[in-house]
Amino acid sequence: MSEPQRITERTFEFAVRIVKLCRVLDENPGVARTLSKQLIRSGTSIGANVERSQAAQSSADFVPKLEIALKEARETQYWLKLLIAIEIVPESRLLPLLVETQELLKILASIIVKTKQNRTH
């Protein structure tokens, strides 16, 4: 499996996990629902932008889409850390998602750097 296929599948599976978490958050009133909306937007946007990058016509088109995915991953990391801090959901449910977010950040950053380096050579 190629790197683009792996990151596409991995971000899709991550989005599924985020949606499932947000369904749990939506069962709670108040702040949990508000945070759920933020988390579902950023957490599913990672995969959507990775998917869009696969249709890029050039590396100049590819990199900006991955940079958006990277920004969305950073935002998702923020919301997950906040949820851990305010203890709405058990930390054990959130930590695997936080770890995966950090892995996705590393992978996306690596792909962006490699693509930019290849453009200059």
Residues 121 and 109: their CA atoms lie apart, in Å, by 19
The topology under which CATH files domain 3-120 is de novo design (two linked rop proteins) (1.20.1440)
> Average model confidence (pLDDT) for the chain?
94
1 band by pLDDT with thresholds 50, 70 and 90: low
pLDDT digits (tens, 9 = 90+) for 56-90: 888 889 999 999 999 999 999 999 999 999 999 99
Predicted structure pTM score: 0.92
Task: Return the closest-CA partner of residue 111 out of 49, 42, 18.
Answer: 49
Sorted by where each begins, the domain ranges of the chain are 3-120
Half-sphere exposure of 43 (CA within 13 A, CB side): 26
28 phi-psi bin (left φ>0, alpha ψ -120 to 50, beta other) = beta
Q: Which two tokens stand for residue 34?
A: 């508000």
Taking CA atoms, 65 is separated from 55, 68, 80, 119, in Å, by 10, 5, 23, 16
